[in-house]
Amino acid sequence: MSLEKRRMRRRAQEGIRVAGQRPVLPTHRHRPRSSSRDAASGQRESRLSHLINSWWNRLIGAIYSGSLSDETAIYAAHQTTRDYVCNAIGQAAWGGYFPLLTVVVTQLVGIQQAGMFSMAFAIGLLLLFVGNYGVRAYQVSDVAEMQSFNDYQINRIITCAAMLVAGFTYCRLRGYSEPMMSICMGMIAFRVIDALADVYEGRLQQKDKLYLAGISQTVRCVIPFVVCTIVLALSRNLVWACWAMAIAEGAAVLILTLPLTFFETERSYPWSTRAVGELFAQCLPLFLAAFLYNVLGSLPKFAMEGTLSYDNQLYYNALYFPSQMILMVFGFIYKPQLVRLANIWADPSRRTRFDLVVLAMLGVVVGITALFALVMSWVGIPLMNIMYGIDFGGYRSLMLVMIGAGGLCAAIDFLYQIIALLREQESITKLYLIAIAFAVPVTLLLIKFAQLAGAIVASLVIMAILTVLLVYEYLAIRRRLSEKLW
């Protein structure tokens, strides 16, 4: 074929009339129509695919180069709006994970196994405080980096190992048989990974990139939830589902959380045995306070396990989850401000403002609790009936009692963080010991005489006592520090 003929054919195929030939023109009949909704969906898919591909290429490139820390950071710090939004989404994913999963478990395998799942969740949550060791608040407020990030990592590896050993030992001493033993160990493995991820997300928050920590937290909650639900729906085997959940979170941490931290923060100073030891010593009061606080919160659940059937665990947690939302919503508001509060406190001339912020935050807790009580008394019971497939009609008053306990939990959590920020954590432990000494006999007596209702009332009484003790201690600390300043 001559050169001229080839040119004419190519032009004809492109729809250009050449030398009297009829070109092949595209027509609307052969073009698929797409709505604006399809176009928007395609654009979102394209952006998501581009983001995933970019991240994957960045990760593979860093692995190939031999160092994650040598990558250049590409995400900016000091993004207040993003911090609030992404942290709120991450906290919502973390706080809503087990309530929603408990609903799924109840619907798929029944009340009894859902109660076992709830008890395993309580054990895992208690052990999570062993893994975290109270370090997160200390880490994010360490703006001068008195300890290196490597020190924090070594600390967390040790505490996670201790958490795993303690969990296995407890289950053996408790005499759990199958399937409870395997359900608990799957849940504990999930919580070990949760504790490990927390130190990396704490590093991102310390470097004022809280929004990246929120994204990480969201991903490592959503993926295990989906995986656990699919495995449970296909197999109806709760043991398999719990272990699948732990494996899925481990994959999320390896692929996203850990590399994101190294990419977006500078290389850490080397660790030292002395610094790690100091970190354990400094955070021991924080750990004891957090652990003992969770013991207080979990005391009714553990007391019920010895005397009531596992279905009571499900009812207790189902009534507790709405109150947990108070703690979660309040966390959206105050946690992004911890670094800024530390900076306010560092300036002696602004400490009156610091006190006003603390007072305002406690007022916000009261407002959120009242709002939740109003909403839940209106739509709470019908919604829970639909979600769980169980009749909660006779539990309305107990639900309101639990919401009151949830508001007190939010106030306790905030005061705990503030006292840690003031570096007065040594004073917290004695308060929890006092509360436990009172709570144990009260809880056992209430459960013995009123069973599930007694457990819920005991929760409110315990939290009320602890709130009063913390408020008194905060005022004493402020008075003492003011005297030193003058």
Q: Are the C-beta atoms of 267 and 67 separated by less than 8 Å? A: no
Q: Between 42 and 436, name the one with better pLDDT.
A: 436
Lowest mean pLDDT among 65-69, 230-234, 375-379: 65-69
State the pLDDT at residue 70.
Answer: 59
Q: Which two tokens stand for residue 30?
A: 């052969």
State the first-to-last Cα distance of the chain, in angstroms, to the nearest integer.
100
Most confident stretch, 37-46, 54-63, 92-101, 284-293: 92-101
pLDDT tens-digit profile of 438-469?
888 989 999 988 888 999 999 999 999 889 99
pLDDT band at 148 (very low <50, low <70, confident <90, very high): confident
The reported pTM is 0.76
- pLDDT of 312 > 50? The answer is yes
Q: Which two tokens stand for residue 173?
A: 């001493």
Percent of the chain at pLDDT > 70 equals 85
Lowest mean pLDDT among 5-14, 237-246, 323-332: 5-14
Average pLDDT, the chain: 82
Phi/psi of residue 485, each to 5°? Answer: -65, -40
What is the C-alpha to C-alpha distance for residues 159 and 363, in angstroms, rounded to an integer?
35
Q: Which two tokens stand for residue 296?
A: 């207080």
Give the three-state DSSP class for 148: coil
User: Based on the number of CB atoms within 10 Å of its own CB, is 308 exposed (0-12), middle (13-18) or buried (19 or more)?
Assistant: middle
State the pLDDT at residue 403.
Answer: 92
CB within 8 Å of 283: residues ≥ 6 apart: 133, 134, 135, 138, 155, 425
Residue 179, preceding peptide bond in cis (omega within 30° of 0): yes
Domain boundaries along the sequence of the chain:
77-271, 293-486
The DSSP secondary structure of 10-33, one letter per residue, reads: HHHHTT---TTPPP----GGGSPP
Q: Are the C-beta atoms of 377 and 396 separated by less than 8 Å? A: yes
